[in-house]
Amino acid sequence: MTNVEPEHLAIRRVLPFAPVALVVAFVLGQVLSGSGAAWSAAIAIVIVVANFVANALSVAWAAHVSPTILYAVAMGGFVMRLIVFTIALVLLNTVSWFSPVAFALTLVPATIGLLVVEAKALSGRIQADMWSFQGTSR
């Protein structure tokens, strides 16, 4: 039995749904409010997925270094997600076609959906069983 890191498992579960979410967000934005909302919703999906993958990969890396680095990367990743979302919203809001409402109404459920996938990927596992650190024995 191979031991798959939970972060990589979560990425594998999420990535197949990313194109579907992108298309659904774009189509809903187009139908409900036009092309500006469609592109705003699509950008929100891209940002959420890119942030998720970057965070998962950084946590997977940190899990092999030490518990302290893992904690710092996990907490820092959370803060960085918030910063990236905020900066994207502020910068995109300067573009005439951008719809902050469509962006936010897409970003929030997409983020919640990712949290559900992460929770399902990690459920039933004891925290100590999820990561191994170099130089330690199991």
In tens digits, what is the pLDDT along the chain, a chain of 138 residues? 456 677 888 888 889 989 999 999 999 999 999 999 999 999 999 999 999 999 889 988 888 888 888 889 988 888 888 898 899 999 999 999 999 999 999 999 999 988 887 777 667 655 555 556 566 555
Q: Does 32 fall in a domain? A: yes
Q: What is the pLDDT of residue 63?
A: 84
Q: How many distinct structural domains can be found in the chain? A: 1
Q: By C-alpha distance, which of 7, 12, 126 is closest to 62?
A: 7
Q: Which residue has the tokens 């719809």?
A: 99
Q: What is the pLDDT of residue 1?
A: 41
Q: Does 135 fall in a domain? A: no
What's 15's DSSP letter? G
Q: What is the pLDDT of residue 44?
A: 95
Q: What is the pLDDT of residue 47?
A: 94
Q: Does 35 fall in a domain? A: yes
Domain membership of residue 31 as a residue range: 6-119
pTM of the model: 0.81
Q: Does 129 fall in a domain? A: no
Q: Does 126 fall in a domain? A: no
Q: Does 64 fall in a domain? A: yes
Q: Which residue has the tokens 């092999």?
A: 64
Rounded CA separation 60/54 (Å): 10
Q: Does 33 fall in a domain? A: yes
Rounded CA separation 52/32 (Å): 27
Q: Does 73 fall in a domain? A: yes
